[in-house]
Structure 1
Amino acid sequence: MKKVINFIFIIILIVFLAFIYAWLVEPNLLTVRYENINSNLLNENMDKLKILQFSDTHISSHFNENDLKKAVERINEEAPHIVVFTGDLIDEYNNYENKDNINKIWEILNTIKAPLGKYAVYGNHDYGGGAERIYEQIMENSGFILLKNEKVYLRNYNINIIGMDDSIFGDYNRETIIGMLDEDSCNIVLSHEPDVIDFLLEYDIDLFLSGHSHGGQVNLPFADSLPLLAKKYTRGLYSFNNYRQTNLYVNIGLGTSQIPMRFMAPPELTVLILIKGE
């Protein structure tokens, strides 16, 4: 009997420590992931181009302006040429307690330095409850170009940056996105949800950047915490053996949603280094 009681006590202790870790420790373990991406479509005179991706801040009382400021400071330490944000800025705008000081968010984001531009797309949390209107205002005041089924061409680098509207609540238009792809340019597509790439792999996409999954956020055996359109591609780099040799990167985000915990999915920034070559 005593062995059984000791065993139960140990299990309870492990569960308690795991809970404390997921609640207080892992959400603050900001990591930076580095990936090299080769492309023979980049201009000949280009050496290396550094793109930094961040996603899913879900600003709330659990990931506040101070947390955002720390992440931005880390972004600037990387000295990226381009910065992209792949959606879900505020967790629940209706319940956001600091609406009167919303300017603090854009003042922080405005300090991000990226000489070749800052680009963003809508996520599913950027719609509803007034979030759509305020998200556009925040990103524009932050110096981001908000791409809603639109593209920007960086002529000196022969790069297209194409932003898809959110695939769940937005006006995502597949044919419009396909029409923006240029066979002779390096095409980088920003999409909040990653799984939609399966409908685009036969087209001229070189790099597809997404978020939304949170990497599962809280990863427990036999528990599926992955959201719609992020169940197949959940985290990290995926390379496809299609004719374009498309790469997909799924960033697992900075903040949390539903519950203020992360387990086996620490918050991350992604640095993608584009290199001229096959």
Structure 2
Amino acid sequence: MERTVTPPRHVGAPPDTRHHQAPEALPLEERLSPGARTGRANAERARVGRPFGLRLPFRRWFPHRRARAILMAVFRGVGLEGAGRREASNLAIRDNRIRSQRLPAAFHGTRILHLSDLHLDTTPGILHSLVNRIGSLSFDCSVITGDLNSFAGSFCEKEARLLRRALGACPAYVSLGNHDSLVDAARWEACGFTILVNERISWERDEDRLTIAAIDDVHYLESPGDSIASLASGSFGILLSHTPDVYREAAHAGFDVMFSGHTHGGQICAPGGFPLLRNAKAPRAFCAGAWSYLRLRGYTSRGVGCSGLPLRFHCPPEIVLHTIVREEYSPA
């Protein structure tokens, strides 16, 4: 499904946009086929109860809650819990510039606010910090690359509407992550967010256009490569994918930019930001910050919230403000 939008720009304190939604958009449950809804729901149920979302043989006698309690006790015992909690609430704003010769001239200087891995239900207080930081930023569009909450059924309408108002009148596009459920996604969409599940929209400015596409989390796709290829439009394209693992498929499909998350940058890292776990199959260089592959330019967010433990070490949470600029071609 493809839609066309002409979003306004967010500047400073935004108006109340709790009822804003992309024009002519059907509700999420009507856009997905019955088979897609059933398949996603079955996959969601199969993942419930796995420690850290993994299929581990010892999960019956070493459940996620017990693992979390033991790890928290260790950090508390060595006196690091306080430092980890403080860093988890120290939300940074990062600027990232993306250059492309294919960017349409009308979109030169476009600014996109990128959030990821909010985990609002397991990161106390992060929403208010996020809203305060967003209020001072100017951008043309916002995207969220998955994991709005950690647990299905923990959707909070008050929090969703507060965040939507902070993002202003411009559209807020969301790709789903491995922690997101379709039921909660529909509730987020009712609050003004545009959930894209294997869909794309066309963004028009003057006579130029670019596309923003998003795939479902790869854990719920039988063939991510086919899904990505079906979303390519030939025009300048931005792909939202919860995980950076599909960077090759995105590049070969012809996308120009890819925004991701999922890895949290490691969340708990050694000094220098070296991740102890990267939670992705992509090479380490693709798991945090800016990267490139062939013509594709990408960014993997370190995320806003926390998963598993409400702690971060040597890996502060971040809001990313991407500025996309047209790079004129100059033959050698």
TM-score, L = length of structure 1:
0.81
Describe the shift of the 1:191–1:117 C-alpha distance in structure 2 as closer, same or farther (beyond 3 A).
same
CA positional deviation for 1:105? 1.9
User: What is the root-mean-square deviation in Å for CA atoms of aligned residues?
Assistant: 2.5
Structure 1 regions of 5+ residues with no counterpart?
Answer: 1-14
- Structure 2 distance, partners of 1:224, 1:25, is 20
- Structure 2 distance, partners of 1:172, 1:32, is 35
1:155 aligns with 2:198: no
CA positional deviation for 1:159? 1.1
Q: Which residue of 1 aligns with 2:311?
A: 261
- Aligned sequence identity (%): 28
Would the aligned equivalents of 1:124 and 1:170 in 2 still touch at CA under 8 Å?
A: no
1:63-142 alignment runs, 5 A limit: 63-64=123-124, 66-93=125-152, 96=154, 102-127=156-181, 132-138=182-188, 140-142=189-191
Aligned partner (choices 289, 298, 316) of residue 236 of structure 1: 289
Amino acid at match of 1:27: A
- Structure 2 distance, partners of 1:77, 1:142, is 22
CA positional deviation for 1:25? 1.3
1:28 aligns with 2:79: no
Would the aligned equivalents of 2:280 and 2:287 in 1 still touch at CA under 8 Å?
A: no
1:115-264 alignment runs, 5 A limit: 115-127=169-181, 132-138=182-188, 140-156=189-205, 157-170=208-221, 173-183=224-234, 185-220=235-270, 224-229=276-281, 232=284, 233-240=286-293, 242=294, 245-264=295-314
- Structure 1 distance, partners of 2:275, 2:126, is 28
> What is the SS of the residue equivalent to 1:125?
coil
Amino acid at match of 1:261: L
Would the aligned equivalents of 2:103 and 2:326 in 1 still touch at CA under 8 Å?
A: yes
Paired residues, number? 249
Which 4+ runs in 1 deviate beyond 6 A?
A: none
Describe the shift of the 1:113–1:220 C-alpha distance in structure 2 as closer, same or farther (beyond 3 A).
closer
Would the aligned equivalents of 2:244 and 2:282 in 1 still touch at CA under 8 Å?
A: yes
Deviation string, structure 1 residues 44-97 (Cα, Å, up to 9, x no partner): 24441100100111122x423x42132023123212111000010111235x4x
CA positional deviation for 1:107? 1.5
TM-score, L = length of structure 2:
0.68
- Structure 2 distance, partners of 1:179, 1:223, is 34
Amino acid at match of 1:260: P
Structure 2 regions of 5+ residues with no counterpart?
Answer: 1-76
Would the aligned equivalents of 2:304 and 2:317 in 1 still touch at CA under 8 Å?
A: yes
Amino acid at match of 1:54: L
Would the aligned equivalents of 1:39 and 1:186 in 2 still touch at CA under 8 Å?
A: no
Deviation string, structure 1 residues 7-29 (Cα, Å, up to 9, x no partner): xxxxxxxx84544311x310111
CA positional deviation for 1:223? 7.6
